[in-house]
Structure 1
C-alpha cells in the first residue's frame, strides 16, 4: 500500500500557527486607562474678553483688540451668533476712526468652549476604542467559526498527525474565545463611561448653532485700541446671604454672596467682572398707563338667551407662524424683580473665570458686622415652640431678595427666603429655643343669649398662656396673639388682656397683639386673654372655635 501523502494535511498546523500568531487583541495595543483625556486646544482669540457686566437676567460682554497704524480692516472670527448686531457698540481710542461693520454668520462645526472641546474629544476617543473592540471581536468570531469547520470529521483530518492537529485546534479555539470574552468585558467597562460623558456633553453644549465673524472698517493713523460691547441673554446672577449669630447674641456677621452662571457659548477666562443689581440698561423709557375704564355688565335680555342657545362657530385655526414654538431651555435663575430706587454695582477685585457650562459659581462680595438684639418669639395658640429672632438696623444700600443661610454657635440652622422689602430693618430667625416651654390652658368657652327675649347670641372665650424659661440668664420675650377681628358691623367684640399688651396691630398686622417684656432665668409668666363676641341670633357666625 502506498503511504498517504502528507500534502493534504501538513499545511494545516502551519496555517493554524499563522492564525494564532494574530490572536492578540487589536485593542490591547492601543488601550489606555479610561480616565485619560485629550487636552482640548482652543484657537487664540483675536479680541479677548476683557470685562463683563453681569445683571440678574443678562450680561454685557466687552472685548478689546489692538489696532496697528495703517490698518484698514479688523476681522474678529469665532463669536457666538446669539446677540443682536443692532445692540453692538464699538468705540476706540488713539485716534482710530470706525467705519461700517459687517456681520457674517455661518453654521458652527466645532466646539465653542474649552469644556465642550474636552468632552467632545473624550467621547470621540471612547467611541473609536469601542469600534476597535467590536472589529476585533468580529475577527475572533470569524476565526472561531473557521476553526470549528476544520474540526469536523473527515478523512484528511483523521490521518497524518491527529494529536498535533487537535492540540493546535484546541489552542486556537481557546484563544479565540478568550479574545471574544475580553472584548465583551472591555466594552462593558467602557460603555458606562461613554454614556456619562455623552450626557455631560449634551448638558453643557451651548444652544448656539451659528458662529459670527465681524468685519470692521477702520482708519488708524497710529496705534490704538478697539472695544466692542454686546448684550447676551443666557447669563445672570442672583444674590445669596449667610448670617452667623455670635455666641453672646449681640451681633450678626452678615455675608453677602453671589451665585453666577452663564451658558452664552463663550468661556469667560480671567475677565474683570462687575455685578449689577436691577435690570440691564437696554430699556430707555418706562411704561405709560392706559385709561382705566369701569362699566356695568350688560343686562340679560331674551334675544341674548336665544343667541346663547345656538352653538358657537368653530374657532379659526391658528396660523403655523403664530403657533407656540418649542419650549426654550430653563432659565439659569428665577429672577426676582427689584424695585429699589437705585442699583448697586460690585466690582470683583480679582479676575474671574466662568465657563459656559451653566454650572453655578459662588462668590463672596462682602461681610458686615451688625449689632442686634435677640428676642424669644412665642405664638402660643399656633405653636408650643419658642423661636429666636435677631433684630437690628439694615445697612445702607440695595439689598435684593435672596436665599439666606443661617448659622448659630457654629452650627447650620437652616435657610429661608429673605426679602428686606417685607420688613423694616433687619429681622433674622435663628431657629428654636429649646430652653423655653410654652403651654395653653383653656379657662372658659361658653355660649349665652342676651338682649330682649334673647335677640343676640354670645360666646365667651378665656385662655391662659404660660411661658417658662430654663435659661440661667434673663431673656427678652415677645408673645404674639391674634385677637378676633369683626368683619361685620353687627358683630360686637370686647377683649381683656392681662398683663396689658405692649402693641396693638403688631408689625402692621390687624388684630395681632404683642407683649414685650423681660423673663428672668428660671421664671414663669402667665398671659391671659378673654374675648366676648356678640352677634344677631338669627345669623350664623364663621370663625369661632
Structure 2
C-alpha cells in the first residue's frame, strides 16, 4: 500500500477542469483501534472508474474530524491534495444508500397498507351505520296509524322481519370491522418498526464534514482509499467476573472472566468493524517530566507564630493512640501503564452504536491456582474474611477494572481489580466467614512514672486476641494485629507476643504482626500481646 501523510490543504482544490470527472462515494468504517480514552478509526472507500485523475468527494466524515490526525492512503490509487470541508460542503447530486432506499421503500409500502386498511374499515363502518339507520326507519314505520287491524298485523310482521335482518347485518358488519381493526394493528406495528429502522440508518447531513481529494487511478480502473482519523469521543475499560470455587473441588480454583465495556459517541454508528483494544494512551503524557534546577536560599529566621489553642483529647490506650501509617499512594492506571502497550483483537465483527453506553464484550477466561485463607483482624473486625491470593502466571497484564466476585456460584460483592503485572500476586477478599468470631480485649493497661532520680513515664498494655471457629470445617488462618514502633532513641518500646508471631513488619509495615495456623472446627485460638512504652518525664507521648 502506498501511503502519503498529508498536511491538509485548507484552500481551494485544483480547478475542476483538470479532473476527468468527480467521484462521489460514501466511506465504510472498517477498523477501529479503541484506547482507554479515544479511538483510531479507519474508513475504506472502494473506487471503480476510468484510469486518470479524478476529484474524490467523501461526504460522510464526522463533523468533529480532527484535521491534524487525518491520514489518507491509497492502494492502486495515488493521492494528491486533500481538502477537509466543514461549513461549505460540495454541491453534489445525492446518491441514495441502497440500505436507506430499501428502508424508505418498506416504509412507503407499509404506509400504503395502513391507508388501505383504514379505508376498508371505514367502508365496513358505513355498512354498520346504514343497517342501524334501516332499523330506525323500520321502527318508525311500525308505528303507522289509520290502518285496519289486519293491516297492522301484516305490517308488524314485515317490520319485525326486516328489523331482525337489518340488526343482524349491523352486528355482522360491526364484528367484521373489529376484526379488521385487530388485523390492522400488526401492520401499524410493522410500520412503526420500519420507521425506526429508517431513522437508525439516516443522519442529518449537518453532522458531517466532507473530504475532497485529488486521486489518480491506475490502468486497472479500481483502487481503495483508506482514511484514518482520531476521535476522543470513545473509550473502553476492562470488567471482570471473578469466580472462586471451593465446594466440590479437589483444590480451590479462581477463574477470571474478562470482558470490556465499550462506549462511543462520535456521531455515527460503527457497524461490523474489526475491533482492536489497546492500552496505549495517545492523549496522555508521552515523555518523562523535566527536573529543573533547585535554588536554596538562607535568610533571617521567621518570627515565631502564635499557636492557636486546640481541643485537648483524652489519652487512650496504646493501640488506640497509635497513629495510622499513611496509606500508600495508589498509582493511577495511566501512570502504571506507560510501559509496553497491550492490545486485544476482538474475534468477530462488532456493531457499536453512537451514544450507546457500556456495550459489554467478552474477551476470554483465565484460570489461576489460589491460596485461600481465613484472614482475621480482631483489632477492627468481628468476623474473619475469606481471602484468595494467586500468582498471575497467565503471562499477561491484568488491567485495572471493576470486578464482580462470586464464591461457589453465589455473588458476594464488588471490588476494583488493581493492575497486576505478569508474575505478580493478586489478592482479593470474598466476603466474611460468619462462623469465625473475633474478639480483642485489653484486660490490663497501666500508666505512670518510675525511677528515683531520673524519672520516666511508662505505659503498659496487655491485649488478648481470640478467634473462635464455630464452623464445621478447618480453616487455614492468618491473624493480623499491630504493636507501636519508635524512631526516637528516647522513646523505648518493647513487646512480647504469645505465641510468637509468624511474620513481623508484614509487607514492610513496621509493627504489623501476623500469625499463621490451622484452626480446627469448634476450637479457639488465643494470642496475648504485652507492650511497654517508656519516655522521658519532660516529654509527651503522641
Specify the TM-score bucket, using the shorter chain as the normaliser.
Answer: 0.5 to 0.7
1:449 to 1:421, Cα distance in 2 relative to 1, 3 A: farther
- Alignment partner, residue 407 of structure 1: 406
Q: Which moved more, 1:484-493 or 1:424-433?
A: 484-493
Q: Does structure 1 retain, via aligned residues, the 8 Å contact 2:245–2:253? A: yes
CA distance in 1, matches of 2:417, 2:488: 36
Q: 1:219 aligns with which of 216, 221, 231?
A: 216
> Do structure 1's residue 263 and structure 2's residue 250 form an aligned pair?
no
Note the aligned Cα RMSD (angstroms).
Answer: 3.1
Give 2:55's match in structure 1, choosing from 58, 69, 73: 73
Structure 1's 427 and 283: CA in aligned 2 closer, same or farther, altered over 3 A?
Answer: closer
Residue in 2 aligned with 1:236?
235
Compute the displacement of 1:521 (Å). 2.0
After TM superposition, the structure 1 stretch with the greater mean CA deviation from structure 2, 441-450 or 46-55, is 441-450
After superposition, residues 103-502 of structure 1 pair within 5 angstroms as: 103-106=84-87, 211-221=208-218, 222=220, 223-248=222-247, 250-280=252-282, 286-296=287-297, 299=300, 336-339=334-337, 341-394=339-392, 395-420=394-419, 424-453=424-453, 455-502=455-502
The alignment partner of 2:261 has SS state of: strand
Change (3 A) 1:76 1:416: same
1:101 to 82, 85, 91: 82
Inter-partner Cα distance in structure 2 for 1:283 and 1:384: 44
Moved more, 44-53 or 373-382: 44-53
Rounded Cα–Cα distance in structure 2 between residues aligned with 1:428 and 1:396: 19
Q: Distance in 1 between matches of 2:380 and 2:246?
A: 29
For 2:288 and 2:344, locate their aligned partners in 1 and report how far apart those are by CA, in whole Å: 28
Shift of 1:229: 0.6
8 Å CA contact retained: 1:338, 1:400:
no
Contact preservation (8 Å) 2:63, 2:207: yes
Report if aligned partners of 1:56, 1:335 keep a CA contact under 8 Å in 2. no
Contact 1:374 1:388 in 2 (8 A): yes
Distance across 2 between alignment mates of 1:493 and 1:215 = 79
**Cα distance in 2 between the residues matched to 1:291 and 1:55:** 32
Measure the CA separation in 1 of the matches of 2:63 and 2:470.
Answer: 66
1:134-160 deviation line (CA, Å, top 9, x unaligned) = xxxxxxxxxxxxxxxxxxxxxxxxxxx
- Alpha-carbon separation, structure 2, partners of 1:370 and 1:389: 14
Q: CA deviation at 1:278?
A: 2.9
Aligned to 1:33: none
Residue 301 of structure 1 and its aligned partner are, at CA, apart by: 9.7
Equivalent position SS for 1:72: strand
How many angstroms apart in 2 are the aligned matches of 1:421 and 1:89? 36
Per-residue deviation at 1:293? Answer: 1.0
Q: Deviations over 1:438-472 (max 9, x none)?
A: 11232310113223436101011111111111233
In structure 2, distance between residues paired with 1:88 and 1:208:
20
In 2, are the aligned partners of 1:420 and 1:426 still within 8 Å (CA)?
A: no
The CA deviation string for residues 21-43 of structure 1, in whole angstroms up to 9 with x for no partner, is xxxxxxxxxxxxxxxxxxxxxxx
Give the Å deviation of 1:294: 3.7
Task: Give the conservation status (yes or no) of the 8 Å contact 2:279–2:337.
Answer: no
Q: 1:433 to 1:292 in 2, by over 3 A?
A: farther
Alignment correspondent of 2:314 = none
Deviation at 1:263, TM superposition (A): 0.7
SS at match of 1:420: coil
Counterparts of 1:107 and 1:376 in 2: how far apart (Å)?
69
Note the C-alpha offset of 1:528. 0.9
Residue 58 of structure 1 corresponds to 38
For 1:287 and 1:410, the matched residues in 2 are separated by 46
CA distance in 1: counterparts of 2:527 and 2:276, whole angstroms: 53
Residues 316-367 of structure 1: CA distance to partner in whole angstroms, max 9, x if unpaired? xxxxxxxxxxxxxxxxxx9754435312111111111111114211111111
After the TM superposition, list the runs of 4 or more consecutive aligned residues in structure 1 that deviate by more than 6 angstroms.
206-209
- In structure 1, what is the equivalent of residue 170 of structure 2? none
Q: Considering fraction of residues, name the structure with more strand.
A: 2
For each residue in 1:60-111, what CA deviation from the matched residue of structure 2 results, as whole angstroms up to 9, or x when unmatched?
00000112252622210021121321211111223x1111101111289xxx
**Which secondary structure does the structure 2 equivalent of 1:435 belong to?**
strand
Worse-matched range after superposition: 241-250 or 389-398? 241-250
SS of the aligned residue for 1:507 comes to helix
Q: Using the alignment, how far apart are the partners of 2:474 and 2:293 within structure 1? A: 57
CA–CA separation in structure 1 for the residues paired with 2:383 and 2:88: 63
Q: Any conservation in 1 of the 2:27–2:60 contact (CA below 8 Å)?
A: no
TM-score by length of 1: 0.64
Query: Does the Cα contact within 8 Å between 2:207 and 2:267 map onto a contact in 1?
Result: no
Gap runs ≥5 in structure 2: 1-23, 90-99, 108-202, 304-331
Identify the residue that residue 21 of structure 2 maps to in structure 1: none
